[in-house]
A = this chain, B = another copy of it.
Amino acid sequence: MKKKSDRLPSEDRRKQLIEATLACLMQDGTSGLSSRKICAQAGVSLGLLNHHFANQVDLLAAAYETISVRYHQDLRARIASNKDNHSAPVETLVACAFDADLISPDQLRAWIVFWSQAIDSPVMRAMHDTINERFQTYLIEILSQSFPRLDADQLRALAIEYSALADGLWLDWSLNSKNQDARSWQAILEQWLARTLASA
């Protein structure tokens, strides 16, 4: 057996550390936010983390961006594939809001940790702003196709309303200790959409 080298190009190692960070946060929440635990999860020494990331906040911000971009891209792909079936983008958006392939209670618990860090750290706050703005732009793009009579300000308000509702339902879902079956939360979101479409 030839022992392969453990060396990785910088970018690959960074990605691996980011994935390890997400895994730790999903497993243990705030207490998973530990450089040592993250390195252990990645099977890597402690010093390596500081070789690839200047400090812990940079790693955390990168992980925040990664999980956000991943969700964003998965969502785009899903909506694009459903568009062929003549389903309005906003219908697909709502339909897969609690889809296990796109989002899980574990991931949402990691998201809550990111939120709590956005309170403390300016870097995380800035990343939060970027992520929010990015997603809001996409939401407006989607909503405008089903709400053609709304102007820009109204669309923006509706986008904020949708993301707030989705975030709140996700929060309730992921912190709920009784029932992890997403159906009831899903139904609430669908009824919201039906009501909103009817009144537009």
Which A residues are closer than 8 A to B by beta carbons? Answer: 28-31, 109, 112-113, 115-120, 125-126, 128-129, 132, 157, 160-161, 163-169, 171-172, 175-178, 184-185, 187-188, 191-192, 195-196, 198-199
Which residues does chain B contribute within 8 Å of A185, judged by CB atoms? 160
Q: How many copies does the complex hold?
A: 2
- Asked whether A192 lies within 8 Å of B161 as measured between CB atoms, the reply is yes
In this complex, which of A164, A185, A195 has the most chain B Cβ atoms within 10 angstroms of its Cβ? A164
Which residues does chain B contribute within 8 Å of A129, judged by CB atoms? 176-178
The residue in chain B whose Cβ has the minimal distance to the Cβ of A128 is B175
- Asked whether A115 lies within 8 Å of B175 as measured between CB atoms, the reply is yes
- Asked whether A112 lies within 8 Å of B115 as measured between CB atoms, the reply is yes
Q: What are the 10 tightest A-B residue pairs by CB atom distance, in nearest-first order?
A: A164-B168, A29-B119, A168-B168, A116-B116, A167-B168, A164-B169, A29-B120, A109-B119, A165-B165, A195-B199
Distance A178 CA – B130 CA, assembled complex (angstroms): 12
